[in-house]
Amino acid sequence: MCYYSVEGCTNVSAFNYDSNANTDDGSCVDVVEGCTNVSAFNYNSNANTDDGSCVDVLKVVLMKMLIIMTPDANTENGSCEFLVVMILLLKTTILRQIQMMDLFIRGMYGFVS
């Protein structure tokens, strides 16, 4: 019976585990959880596994604006989070309306390809 050596990472908890490998070649990479979305506020360039913690940059800016707008606030009551969600929803709705208007106007004047 022949035995073929297949080199790779044999550590099942490693990021780059190779189930076909039967000989560890020292290439295993630890799992590093974090935000892997490069456009997020809290992007982690060391992360190789997304943990769902990414925060939208616009959300952070809006939160900071709301904090500046309410300098006398001394207790977090969740109202900023609610306002941020409402503003983000409004932004999405406005962008959709602009896209729809753009398509309508392009279609009206024959610019749609």
| pLDDT attached to residue 82 | 62
Tokens (6 digits) for 92:
């999405």
**pLDDT (0 to 100) of residue 47:** 95
Quote the crossing angle between the two packed helices 79-108 and 57-69, to the nearest 10°: 120
User: What is the structure's pLDDT at 52?
Assistant: 92
Give 13-30 pLDDT, tens digit per residue: 999 999 999 999 999 999
- How many of the other CB atoms lie within 10 Å of CB of 44? 18
Beta strand segments in the chain, E:
7-8, 23-24, 33-34, 49-50
How do the domains of the chain map onto residue ranges?
57-108
- pLDDT tens figures, 58-98: 666 666 665 555 555 555 555 556 666 667 667 777 777 77
The pLDDT value given to residue 110: 66
Q: CB under 8 Å, gap of 24 or more: what pairs does 75-78 form?
A: none
Q: What is the pLDDT of residue 20?
A: 95
Predicted TM-score (pTM) above 0.75: no
Q: Are strands 7-8 and 23-24 parallel, antiparallel or unpaired?
A: parallel
- CA–CA separation, 45 and 80 (whole Å): 29
Q: What's the mean pLDDT in 30-57?
A: 89
Rg (CA), the chain: 25
Say if residue 101's pLDDT is above 80: no
Report the candidate in 53, 51, 48, 52 with the shortest Cα–Cα distance to residue 14. Answer: 48
